[in-house]
Structure formats: structure tokens, C-alpha cells
Structure 1
Amino acid sequence: MKQNIKICFIITLLSLLILPAFVSYDASADKTNSSLGTQLNEILTDKRLSGAIAGVSVRSGSTGELIYENYGETRLTPASNMKLFTAGAALQTLGPDYRFTTELLADGELKNRKLKGNLYLKGKGDPTLLKEDFEELAQSLKEKGVHNIQGDLIGDNSWYDDESLSKDMVWSDEDNYYGAKVSALTASPNEDYDSGTVIVEVYPGKQPGVKADVRLSPISDILKIENHAKTVKSDEKAELTITRKHGSNKILIEGEINEDSSRKREWIAVWEPAHYALDLMKQSLLQAGITFKGETKLSKAPDDATLLIEKKSMPLSDLLIPYMKLSNNGHAEILVKEMGKVKKNEGSWDAGLEVMTDFLQEKGLDTDEMRLRDGSGISHVTLIKPNQLSEFLFTVQNESWFDPFYRSLPVAGDSDRFEGGTLRYRMIDTTAEQIVHAKTGSLTGVSSLSGYVDQNDGLTFSIILNQFVEDEIKDIEDEIAVVLSTYKEEK
């Protein structure tokens, strides 16, 4: 009896020595495919995961069978992997052909080339409006015979509610492009379509000692530049910051830029996106030779206002490319509010998230086991199980809208920005290159990658890493994806 106890003690001691002290995977992994499990478990012993939670879920792409899981039933913060749910819900609720609209309306008569009343620019959520779109609207208005506006130029952003920042937005993110305010009337600086932002470029001055040269794209009168940056010699230490003062449209340029530097460029979120769009419309009217006597302001258009011009956006199936490939937070939140508006006649996060919850329930997911707080995943409060994400990815393969959904996912190692997206520099020259199609995600202490392995019979997978303290651990996700890309399902 004593000998048996001694043997048990030795076995227990040996097992404790063999098991890593920082256990980053759970026992459930042992219940899955042994060869795959061995490889993935080894990756998860990376010391950077010490004290972290590594959620991994892998399913057969053909049957949906769970073939590997590690903390698959643990609720974790998904970061931008939340966009997978939002994209699917939008495709089903709105449809791949859905287009946002922007309207020009009037409340007066047109006589002798004069509009005797106010002109209204009504936004209905289009996040893709560029300066040239406002110019096109102005030119179309002139072609209709409007050369002078006797009243005011009024922006209407009432399509959505007044809550412009999601519940869990960190205040320090508000001037960053990924934290831009959500507005029914907004504008983007270029074809990345980061709505509600302006591009700020800082170039060195002509010689050391002079101020840096600051340029905006597009130029807007509502933005004020406070430039404290100076040009320094090429061998001097230089550190430059571009920020926006909280609660204002004042952009602060501070620090130094070397005389031989090319430029520094940032996308800065504006404080009032509707005023920003309205200012671009005003500029476009004047450029088209259309004058007006009144003010520019925000107000709701009368219900009986006359529709003069309607501009439609690209279809949702095309909008998904910059949204998913480049992980555009603003698009996600606009889609949430638009779903709420279309299904519940309320352009709010609460209404939109109700629509998304209903959608996920229809797909067989237990929404009582998750917490949804926004559409982009910028919230640290959102919680989803890796097994739920891998199940969702398996289930939607049978949907009529799956092709545009799949096409919108970043492709590992594809150098084309609008193909590879956020995966264009990852998994290059590996077996996963061009094989893994997946959505990335990043927050402080959070990294995620969920999608498809398009080889043999295929796999759906979700990797959600939480509570790590290292700056960069995405190579761990890549290692897992490479292993999955070589996996051959047992027959």
C-alpha cells in the first residue's frame, strides 16, 4: 500500500514538472485530433502567453465537427473579429445590393434660376462620400437650373440618433481615425473611406528653424490648425505629434521634423462630422458658381420638402471590401445603426444590436452566452466564445450572400491592399499564403484571427488571445494558421 502511494506521488511530481508552469491551454485540447492537438498545444506553450488566455476553436469546414478547442467555451474579447457578426447580419438584413442614399431637398420654389428657400443636404448614413461627390451634387443642382439660393444651406443628420460614440469608446481614442464619431451625414478623405476623418500631412519647412508645413486633405474651414512644429537639422533628434484637442476641431501639430524627412501623415477624426460634410458641400456649391445669401447650419428637413437630387452609394457587397479588408470601425457602427433604422425605424446602437442578436439566434447561436456592445469590436466589454465564432463561420457558408462575405475577408500574404488587407504582410512564403482567408483583430491585450482555411475539405477557425502583456504576439496566430493550412482531415 505504501509502495503504491509512493509510486502515485512520483507520477504526480513528474507530471507537474513536465506541464509548463504557466499553463496557457486547457485539458479540452486533449479530447481532439491528436496530431493537430499536439502541434497546436506546443505553439500555445509560448512564454508570451504566460498568464494569458488563448482561445482556439477549429472545425471541419464540411461537417462543422469540432476537431480542436482550447478554451473554446470561454467568453473572450474578440476585438475586430466582432465585424464578422456585423457583416453577416448586414448582408442578411440589408442585402448585398443595399445602397445608402444622400439627398438634396428644398423648401421653396425655383424661379429665374433662384431657389426661394433653403437647400437641405440630408445624410442617410453613406460613409463613402468624398469631396468629388459633393462637387457632383453641386454640378447636378446647377444643371437643374439652380444658380442662387435665397435661403440657408442646412445639413440634416437626423437619420440616426444623437449618440455619436459607442458606449465603451475610450476618450483617448476619439481623435484617432478608428474612433471617429458616427453620423448620418459625414465625409471621407479618400477611398479608404474612413468617414469623419481628415488627412493631416506635415512636411519640413524650407530650412532648419522655420515652422513645419501643414496640409489638410480635404481642406475644410471648420478645422483650425495650431502649428507649433519646427524644422530641425537632419542629425538632430525629432519627434512629431499630430492630435486634435478634445471637444474641438483644433488640430495640434507639436514637436520637430527633420529637414530631410519626406512627411508625416495621420488620419484625424473631426469633432463634428456633419458640419465637416456641410462645409464640403458649401465649398462645392461656390466652386460650381452657385451663390447663397444665408447661413450654414444643422437642422431637420421639413417632411414636405421637395427632393431635388438623390445620390446612391456603392452596393453593400462592394462596401464590405474596405470595411473588412481594412477593418473600418466607422463602417461597422454605421451598419449597426442602419440595421436598426431599417428593421425597427430607430437608427441607434440599441436597435441595431437587437437586430444583430435576432440574426445570430436565427443562425443557431446562444446569444445569452455572449455580450454584444458595438459593431466594430472596439469595446473591451464585448464577449464571445471562440466556439461560437467558428460555428458561425461554418453555418454561414450555406447563405446566398456568402460569396461577398468570403470575398471581403483579408487573404494571407496577398500584397494587393484590397485583397490581402490587414493580412497582406503576414504568412508570406508559408503554406498559409493565399490559403487562409480571415479577419484580424487588435486591442490592447487582445489579438484575434478568425476565418477559413481553403484547402482540401477546408476548416473554419477562431483564435482569440486575451490578457497578454507583450506588445506583439500575432506571429503565434500565424503559426497556428500555418499548421491549419497543412491539416488533412482524417477519412
Structure 2
Amino acid sequence: MKGNKYWKKVVMLLFIVAVACLPFSSEEKDLFVVASDELAEGTSNQSLDDKIDQLLEDERLDGAMTGVSIRKASDGELLYSHDGDIRLHPASNQKILTAISALRTLGADYRFTTEVLTDGKLEGKVLQGNLYVKGKGDPTLLKEDFDQFANELKEQGIHKIKGNLVGDDSWYDDVRLSTDLNWDDEFNYTAAQISALTISPNTDYDAGTVIVEVYPGKKAGDLPVVKLTPETDYLTIVNKAETVAKGESKSISIDREHGTNKFIIEGKIPVDGSLSRAWRAVWEPTGYALDVFKKSLEEQGIELIGNSQVTLGTTPNEATVLTSKQSMTLEELLIPFMKLSNNGHGEVLVKEMGQFVHGEGSWSKGLEVMEEVLANNGLSMNSILLRDGAGMSHKNLIPADQVTKLLFEVQDESWFPVFENSLPVAGEPDRFVGGTLRNRMTGDSTKGNVKAKTGSLTGVNTLSGYVTSKDGEKLIFSIMMNNYITGSMTQIQDTIATTLAEHEFE
């Protein structure tokens, strides 16, 4: 394709030179000038092709597969396509599809709900009956929310509970991990398990994870101090690390034994060393959230008495709501989801769409909803394979031309400003504005101009979104690089986006 464009222009230029040497009448020369101008204009219009073609000749792309698609945002005209019809892995560009599907299905004002209920009655200061915490998918619950639940129960006069504390996560199915997730990713916060009842350690809202911090002991030979956020007894800490003398090197590892909540701390940390911190996924997060809530109850002086147990179960239909909380809106949730590329949010949204449309909070039903949304936007579904909502699967497939088509089609939706605002913005240092692009494309032509979703997996790097050219033409682009082994793909992507930002069509 690149060669055809090159030789076409060579032939045109040779034609102009050859004809100019021939004896023409003045009238014929005027016609030739007009024709030459038209050819020159055509050559100028193709200069964008030349620029991108040249960038794609980078030796770092040798042996890799690269799809590039560029459209006008005004009318969807396909300006450039290099292998744009080839199915490629999107990595976290998959989140574009999930966010659009969620906005179309749930709406920008959608909120998740968490309820605290009972099947018993309050007698004096004792709740005679079970206390249920029914999760409905909210990935933004924090320790302070469980504190608020406990405070409200105390204000209602509850000081003791003669019944079980029950965690209800039945809003979704019990499949915790998305299809194709690698087993050795499971301890990482980017691969946290999905539950309808969960908790996040901070306002990045990495639900189902815990922050583990390791501090040096007071003197050499002491065990380092391990701190968890939020504090919980749900995990077992095996501290094999050692505090060493001042000035020695630090080498701390924080791992979770596969299939358990046994966290292994190993290595050395000097007395004067800085802390080591890691976000780690928790095995079976429903029990984790329930343990944190139990601590909140205890901090308010609310006791479980008798033979009360902490367990999992399903809330009876006749149970009474004692207190509840609604999450932030989907519009607000899309900021950490898209800006910080939060994988857990992608999978929660898939399950929530399945529950909302089909009454089943599963990946299969949620992906059905996504497929319908994409088809309704005119995408060719026989060229697309959806396996999850976050893009962790190496089996997700979509051509670059289909990504740009979707980004064009949704511009007329009432919620489009919400979607566009959720995209990372190049060069903007605020994490909740620039997101994963905050340290990229900081030049004058791109800073604040390129709004795009990043994506990265082993051998996969992608970037898709919007940019306005130097002469004011808003463009849609998708750059999908697959099957490379070494080299900086982001650098090539940034150069392509910068080329679009600095291009003049007139």
C-alpha cells in the first residue's frame, strides 16, 4: 500500500515534467497549468500519507503488526488506513468499547447501590436477627463508608447483634476472574477479583485490593513493620524481611501466595531506608469487605453476641433496609476508569450491564450487551471478538478502522462530552486529567490537544482518540501495535499523534 502511493506520485510528477517539455499552444498550456495545479493539490493532500508511511518504516516495527486508522471527525471520511482492516489486540483500548457501551446502556447518571438490611427486630439495644450487607457492584466503597454504615446503625439504637453478619454478593455470579487472565497476574492489583461486594483501599478505587507498606524497624536486626490499608485480619502476613544497618541497599518483595491470602514479605530494608509499598489483589474480596465492616462495627461499640458468625449468604426478600449508600455517578466513575485505566471498573461494568439488561451479572451476558451496542453503531461484528471489559485478554480482537468508526459514530450522543472528558489528556500533569498521558506529548501542539486512551500488554501497545490539526480539523485516530518484542512503541505513537496535530490540510 505504501509503495503504491509512492509510485503513483512519482508517475504524476514525471508526467508533469514530460508534458511541460512538449510544444503546446497557449490555450493548451493554460489547460495544462490547471491540470498541474489539480495534480499538485492531490499530491499535497497525500502528504499526510507520506508522513505516516515514513514513520511506520521505523525498524522497531520490523516483524510487528501495526494498524493505523485516521478519520475526519466532521464526516467520518477515512483519510488514512494502514492495515486498518486487520484484527489486532486492543489492550486497554478495549475500555473505549466498555465505556461507550456502559454510557449507552446504563446512562451517565447511573449509580451503584449498597444496602445494609436485617431479617430481625430491635429489642432494646439488641438486634435480634441477622445483619446483611448486600453489595450491588459498587467498586468505590471505602473503609469510611463502612464506618458510616456502622455509625448509622448505632444511631438507630443497635449496640448488639444476636445473629450472623452476612455478606451478600449474589448481585453478580461467583466467577471472580475474567476469561484468559494469566494465573501469574492474579496477585497484582491490575487483576483483582470481581465481586458485587468489595472494598477499595483509596480513591483510585482499585476494588478488591489492599495497600501493603513495609517500614524499617527501629534498629538493625528488627523485623520491618508491615502496615495494611485498610486494616484487616482477613490476610495473613508472613514477614521474612530484615531491617539492616544504615546505608545498606534495599531489596523488599511483597508477594501473595497463589490461591490464598498469605502475603510473603522478604528482603532487606535499611534503618534509614524509605518505605516499600505495593497494591495487591485479595483472594475472595467479599470476605475482605465483610471483615472491614466488622471492624467498623466494633469501632462503634457494636458487638456480635451469642453464637453469631461472619458468613456469606443471600438476603431474604422480606428483609428490611436499615441504611444504604449510592455510589458516585457513572460519569464520575469514568474518570478513574479511563484516566487511570482501572481494570476492575471495566469488568464490573460488563457484569453490571448483564445484570441491568438480562438480570444476570455475568461476563457472558454483559458482553452480549456490548456486542449489541457496537452493532447498533454500525461496527462489523464479524471482525470483532470481545473477551473482557478491561483489555487484559490477549484474545480480544478489533481492527483499527472499527475503533475510529466507533469514535466517529458516538459523537452525536448526548453523553459524548462525558466520554470525551474521560479520556486521558496529553501533557496535563494532574492524574485525574492527564491520566496515563500526563507525561507524554508535552509539546505545544499536543499538550491539552491529544485526548486518547492508552493500552499496554506484553507485545501490545495502543493509542486511540482525538486530536485537532494545526488548521483546525478535528481528527480521529487509532494506532494499534502488536507482536513486537523490544523498543518504545509509545515514542512512535506520540510522533504520529504530533504529526497529526501539526499537519495542515489547506
TM norm. shorter chain > 0.5: yes
Matched, 1:239 2:255: no
Question: Displacement, 1:238?
Answer: 3.5
Asked if the contact 1:203–1:214 (Cα under 8 Å) also holds between the matched residues in 2, the reply is yes
Alpha-carbon distance in 1 for matches of 2:207, 2:425: 24
Work out whether 1:292 is the aligned partner of 2:308: no
Q: Displacement, 1:289?
A: 1.6
Amino acid at match of 1:348: S
**Conserved 8 A contact 1:227-1:253:** yes
User: What's the % identity of the aligned pairs?
Assistant: 54
Contact kept in structure 1, 2:247 and 2:272, CA below 8 Å: no
Q: Any conservation in 2 of the 1:32–1:68 contact (CA below 8 Å)?
A: no
1:478 aligns with 2:494: yes
- In structure 2, relative to structure 1, the CA distance for the partners of 1:365 and 1:115 (3 Å cut) is same
Tell me what 1:4 maps to. none
CA distance in 1, matches of 2:271, 2:338: 38
Deviation of the 1:208 alpha carbon: 3.0
Contact residue 32 and residue 69 of structure 1 kept, 8 A: no
> Which residue is equivalent to 2:344?
330
Structure 2, unaligned runs of 5 or more: 1-6, 8-41
**1:302 aligned onto 2:316:** yes
1:308 Cα offset (Å): 1.5
Over the aligned positions, Cα root-mean-square deviation in angstroms equals 1.6
* 2:370 maps to 1:364: no
Give the superposition deviation at 1:113: 2.3
Q: What is aligned with 2:283?
A: 271
Cα deviation, 1:287-316, whole Å, max 9, x if unaligned, reads: 112111211111111111111112100000
Letter in 2 for 1:113: K
Residue in 1 that maps onto 2:69? 57
State the match for 1:441 in structure 2: 455
Q: Which amino acid aligns with 1:299?
A: G
**Residues in 2 aligned to 1:273 and 1:76: alpha-carbon distance in whole angstroms:** 33
1:34 to 17, 37, 46: 46
Aligned to 1:216: 228
The alpha-carbon deviation at position 234 of structure 1 amounts to: 5.0
Question: Which amino acid letter does the alignment assign opposite residue 152 of structure 2?
Answer: S
Residue 348 (structure 1) aligned to one of 362, 367, 384: 362
State the Cα distance separating 1:471 from its structure 2 match.
5.3
Residue 20 of structure 2 corresponds to which residue in structure 1? none
- Higher mean C-alpha displacement, 209-218 vs 311-320: 209-218
| Alignment-mate amino acid for residue 99 of structure 1 | R
Distance in 2 between residues matched to 1:47 and 1:322, nearest whole Å = 35
Amino acid at match of 2:275: R
Match of 2:96 among 72, 81, 84: 84
Q: In the alignment, is residue 463 of structure 1 matched against residue 463 of structure 2?
A: no
Partner of 1:6: none
The structural deviation recorded for 1:235 is 4.7
Match of 1:104, SS state, is strand
Q: Which residue of 1 aligns with 2:34?
A: none
Q: 1-side partners of 2:327 and 2:76: how far apart?
A: 36
Which amino acid in structure 2 is aligned with residue 298 of structure 1? Answer: L
Give the match for residue 187 of structure 2.
175
Q: In 2, Cα distance between the equivalents of 1:235 and 1:48?
A: 41
Q: Partners in 1 of 2:213 and 2:51 — Cα distance?
A: 46
Q: 2:21 is matched with which residue?
A: none
The one-letter amino acid of 2:403's match is L
Match among 140, 150, 157 for residue 162 of structure 2: 150
Q: 1:451 pairs with 465, 469, 476, which one?
A: 465
Partner of residue 420 from structure 1, selected from 434, 456, 464: 434
Pair 259,50 (structure 1): closer, same or farther in 2 beyond 3 Å: farther
Q: How many Å apart are 1:110 and its aligned residue?
A: 1.5
Q: Hey, what's the Cα distance between the residues in 1 that align with 2:105 and 2:114?
A: 20
**For structure 1, which runs of at least 5 residues remain unmatched after alignment?**
1-10, 12-29
Paired residue for 1:391? 405
Contact 2:254 2:278 (C-alpha < 8 Å) held by counterparts: yes
Does 2:194 correspond to 1:194?
Answer: no
Alpha-carbon displacement from aligned partner over 1:253-308 (angstroms, at most 9, x marks no partner): 11122333211111000001000100111011111121112111111111111111
Residues 446 and 226 of structure 1: CA distance in aligned 2, closer, same or farther (over 3 Å):
same
Shift of 1:239: 2.2
Q: Deviations over 1:358-414 (max 9, x none)?
A: 000110101111100000000000000000001111111110110110110000000
Q: Is residue 115–residue 148 contact of structure 1 (8 Å, CA) maintained in 2?
A: yes
Secondary structure at the aligned position of 1:139 is classed as helix
Separation of aligned partners in 2, 1:208 and 1:444: 40
Judged with a 3 Å threshold, the aligned counterparts in structure 2 of structure 1 residues 260 and 31 are, in CA distance, closer, same or farther, namely farther
1: distance between equivalents of 2:134 and 2:433? 33
Alignment of 1:249-264 (within 5 A): 249-264=261-276
**Aligned AA (2:493):** E
> How many matched pairs?
462
Residue aligning to 1:381: 395
Give the TM-score of the pair, scaled to structure 1. Answer: 0.92
Distance 2:464 2:326 in 1: 32
Q: Give the distance between the partners of 1:471 and 1:130, measured in 2 at CA.
A: 39
Residue 115, structure 1, aligned to residue 131, structure 2: no
Query: Secondary structure of the residue that 1:256 maps to in structure 2?
Result: strand
Structure whose alpha-carbon radius of gyration is higher? 2
Choose which of 307, 315, 325 in structure 1 pairs with 2:329: 315
Q: How many angstroms does 1:84 deviate by?
A: 0.3
The separation in 2 between residues aligned to 1:195 and 1:300, in whole angstroms, is: 21
In 1: Cα distance, 2:158 partner to 2:87 partner: 58
What is the distance in 2 between the residues matched to 1:373 and 1:32? 42
- Once residues 275 and 57 of structure 2 are traced to their aligned partners in structure 1, the CA distance between those partners, rounded to angstroms, is 42
Equivalent in 63, 66, 87 of residue 78 of structure 2: 66
Q: 2: CA distance between counterparts of 1:430 and 1:475?
A: 17
Of 129-138 and 47-56, more deviation after overlay is shown by 47-56
What TM-score do the two structures reach when normalised by structure 2?
A: 0.89
